Amino acid sequence: MSGRRRVFMVTQTSAASPSAVFDLLADGAGWSRWAGPLVSRSWWEREGTPAPGGVGAVRRLGRPPLYAREEIVEYVPGHRHAYRLHRGLPARDYLGTVDLSPLDSGGTQIIWQGSFVPLVPGTGAVVALGARLFITGLARRLARVAVSGAGPPSPAT
């Protein structure tokens, strides 16, 4: 029996341009500089097209001993970044999309959406809440750091 698909959405605005926001998103190896305490390490497991973070790229990110494995499935500079989560959440068929739209007043509207089927029946609401809270924090940090053009210095790997 298949579970019910869950969907959540987070909206955030940034004073940065869509291209500045996209550059941070597309730099999978650099997420550990801005994504917060649950993402203390990040790297490319495989490069995509265009290299390094285009379609087909696989990024790994997280905090020991828990790491997510995400494959980039859509790469439209300045507009859209989408990925499939292959490991890191008690869910299957997770698709994350980040759409970036320029604001008339300047800056960017960030719409980050996730959809998935819970691995364990009856856990969808809890998994969706946890994922939404995590993505809300990511979107806030992304919006803030994109304005400065760089996150904190890279940790040694």
Which letter, b or e, does each residue of 105-141 get, where b requires 16 or more Cβ atoms within 10 Å of its Cβ? Answer: eebbbbebbbbbbbeeeeebeebbeebbebbebbbeb
Task: For the chain, give every domain's residue range.
Answer: 6-148
How high is the pLDDT of residue 12?
98
How high is the pLDDT of residue 152?
43
Query: Do 90 and 123 touch, CB atoms closer than 8 A?
Result: yes
> Which residues contact residue 66 at a Cβ distance below 8 angstroms, ignoring those fewer than 6 apart?
88
Distance CA 151, CA 148 (A): 8
Is residue 25 classed as helix, strand or coil in its secondary structure? helix
Q: What is the pLDDT along the chain (157 residues), one digit of tens a residue?
A: 457 999 999 999 999 999 999 999 999 999 999 999 999 999 999 999 999 999 999 999 999 999 999 999 999 999 999 999 999 989 999 999 999 999 998 999 999 999 999 999 999 999 999 999 999 999 999 999 999 875 544 443 3
Phi, psi of 90 (to 5 degrees): -75, 65
Distance CA 8, CA 4 (A): 13
How high is the pLDDT of residue 150?
57
How high is the pLDDT of residue 8?
97
Query: Do 123 and 117 touch, CB atoms closer than 8 A?
Result: no
- pTM of the full structure: 0.91
Distance CA 93, CA 116 (A): 5
- Fold topology of 6-148: Alpha-D-Glucose-1,6-Bisphosphate; Chain A, domain 4 (3.30.530)
